[in-house]
Amino acid sequence: MQQAYALKGNICYSKDRSTLKTVENGYIVVENGISAGVFEALPEKWANIPATDYGDKLIIPGLVDLHIHAPQYAFRGTGMDLELLEWLNTYTFPEEAKYGDLAYADKAYALFVKDLQNSATTRAVVFATAHVPATMLLMEKLEESGLVSFVGKVNMDRNSHPDLQEKSVEESANDTIGWLESCAGKFKNTALILTPRFIPSCTDDLMRRLSEIQKQYALPVQSHLSENQAEVEWVKELCPWSSSYGDAYARFGLFGGSVKTVMAHCVWLSGSEIELMRENGVYVAHCPQSNTNLASGIAPIRRYLDKNMSVGLGSDIAGGSSASIFRAMSDAIQVSKLYWRLIDSGCAALTVEEAFYLGTLGGGKFFGKTGSFDAGYEFDAIVIDDANIIGPVMRNIHDRLSKIIYLSDDRNVVAKYIRGKICGRK
């Protein structure tokens, strides 16, 4: 059982998507890894607990990455002049095929985990590859880091690199079940998530088999949805029996409802798909940098928020070239301005408060009660020293947060707490 303690500093967190709570020189009390609340002065009942004073630094919730590809970290920033499908075939699939070599995977995943460990990210939803040994290696490294994650062994039995594509439905299913059972009781902070790569890489028979596995093991699901127009047209050809890309997942029972589901991108959703996602509680992982790099388009996030859909942010390494969720926040604001200016003047741009919400509480909900400092939430926090970016004039916490979103990097992160424990950085 952890000891109760307090942190003192300039505290900032989201109450909801439009409300930012700030307390200057305030206290957060933590008991057994759970926030007991934020206070302007330390309450009498906790007067004698240890307290760390972070002075003028900012204390904010840990950032959540709802969509990141660990095996793509090694080639981030490459092929950014291509669109999605050509980029996948030219760079992504050949690179991911290398993870059949465990020595290569060990080196590449060590770099990936070190970056996340040093960043402001405390939780992530992660794609691995189809290789079980390399996926286990990634999970072990993430567990050792102290980060909290969902990790998925990828399933794909068509339309891929010959050294990456699984040879049959049964091979894919058996490898997945073997992976699931080998993980039983092994991890504390690293959870399992079913990962059909996307409809174009999974046959109908494989999707049916994955649906059976999902039910048997009660797994959450992650995949991709309507990222690129050519991809959407391809799904129509591959699944003429479905009414939409989202419906193709839904027909197999892998699209929300009783199945916790996160879909990355959601740039080109139809009205019926939006309603299906809203009704089923499917999470949107908004990946603005990737959608820009690969010329996919701009997801209408304002529209999703106005419909009270669940939305968070993803770095989508290596479609996105930076793993920073602060960068994802600033990109989300910028692309929303372009959407408002160029596409729909009735779709207002995102505010700083909303972007911050997406990267903390919005994405954190996928993990449960995470992403806030309200009482009862798991305590994930980062402490930011913004002295090098604040400028000569003292500003309020809101303005300082905006500068952090646009100007900070890993060097500004001076402490990191995950589930109440301080997390070592490398």
Give the pLDDT of residue 392: 73
| Among 97, 119, 123, CA closest to 108 | 97
**Averaged pLDDT, 57-72:** 98
Q: Is the pLDDT assigned to residue 364 strictly greater than 80?
A: yes
Phi, psi of 371 (to 5 degrees): 105, 5
| Residue finishing a domain among 367, 396, 413 | 367
Each residue of 209-236: pLDDT tens digit?
A: 999 999 999 999 999 999 999 999 999 9
Q: Are residues 96 and 22 in the same domain?
A: no
Handedness of CA 15, 222, 189, 356 (dihedral sign): negative
Q: Are residues 169 and 150 in the same domain?
A: yes
Which residues make Cβ contacts (< 8 Å) with residue 258, sequence separation at least 6? Answer: none
Distance, CA of 285 to CA of 66 (rounded, Å): 6
Q: Domain of 78?
A: 63-367
- Give the length of the chain: 426
What is the pLDDT confidence band of residue 424, given thresholds at 50, 70 and 90? confident
Which run of H or E residues covers position 398?
Answer: helix 397-407
Q: Are residues 56 and 86 in the same domain?
A: no
What is the pLDDT confidence band of residue 394, given thresholds at 50, 70 and 90? low
Each residue of 174-186: pLDDT tens digit?
A: 999 999 999 999 9
Asked whether 208 and 254 are in contact (CB, 8 A), the reply is no
Give the pLDDT of residue 3: 86
What is the pLDDT confidence band of residue 397, given thresholds at 50, 70 and 90? confident
Q: Is the pLDDT assigned to residue 1 strictly greater than 60?
A: no
- Confirm whether pTM is higher than 0.95: yes
Chain mean pLDDT for the chain: 96
Q: Are residues 105 and 27 in the same domain?
A: no
- Pairing of β 19-31 and β 5-16: antiparallel
**For the chain, what is the domain count?**
2
Q: Are residues 328 and 415 in the same domain?
A: no
Q: Are residues 56 and 69 in the same domain?
A: no
Decide: helix, strand or coil at residue 6: strand
Distance, CA of 49 to CA of 146 (rounded, Å): 24
Distance, CA of 395 to CA of 5 (rounded, Å): 28
Decide: helix, strand or coil at residue 297: coil
Here the CATH number for the domain that contains residue 333 is 3.20.20.140
Q: Are residues 339 and 386 in the same domain?
A: no
CA 134 to chain centre: 21
Handedness of CA 72, 74, 79, 80 (dihedral sign): positive
Q: Is the pLDDT assigned to residue 2 strictly greater than 80?
A: no
Q: Are residues 93 and 41 in the same domain?
A: no
Token output for 52: 């760390």
**Largest CA-CA distance found in the chain, in angstroms, rounded:** 66
Each residue of 320-346: pLDDT tens digit?
A: 999 999 999 999 999 999 999 999 999
Residue 257: exposure state from Cβ atoms within 10 A (0-12, 13-18, ≥19): middle
Give the pLDDT of residue 356: 98
Give the count of beta carbons closer than 10 Å to the beta carbon of residue 184: 9
Asked whether 112 and 137 are in contact (CB, 8 A), the reply is no
Here the CATH number for the domain that contains residue 382 is 2.30.40.10
CA 225 to chain centre: 15
| Residue finishing a domain among 347, 367, 387 | 367
- Verify cis geometry, omega within 30 degrees of 0, for the bond prior to 41: no
Phi, psi of 300 (to 5 degrees): -80, 70
Q: Are residues 74 and 193 in the same domain?
A: yes
What is the pLDDT confidence band of residue 395, given thresholds at 50, 70 and 90? confident
Q: Is the pLDDT assigned to residue 391 strictly greater than 90?
A: no
* Beta-bridge mates of residue 221: 194, 261
Asked whether 65 and 53 are in contact (CB, 8 A), the reply is no
Q: Are residues 350 and 396 in the same domain?
A: no
3-state helix, strand, coil in the chain (%, to 5): 40, 25, 35
Distance, CA of 90 to CA of 358 (rounded, Å): 32
Q: Are residues 391 and 326 in the same domain?
A: no
Asked whether 223 and 247 are in contact (CB, 8 A), the reply is no
Q: In 121-232, at which residue ranges do the beta strands (DSSP E only) sit?
A: 121-127, 148-152, 154-155, 190-192, 195-196, 221-225
Return the exposure string of 137-158: e unless at least 16 CB atoms fall within 10 Å of the residue's CB, then b: bbbebbbebbbbbbbbbbbbbe
Distance, CA of 363 to CA of 66 (rounded, Å): 6
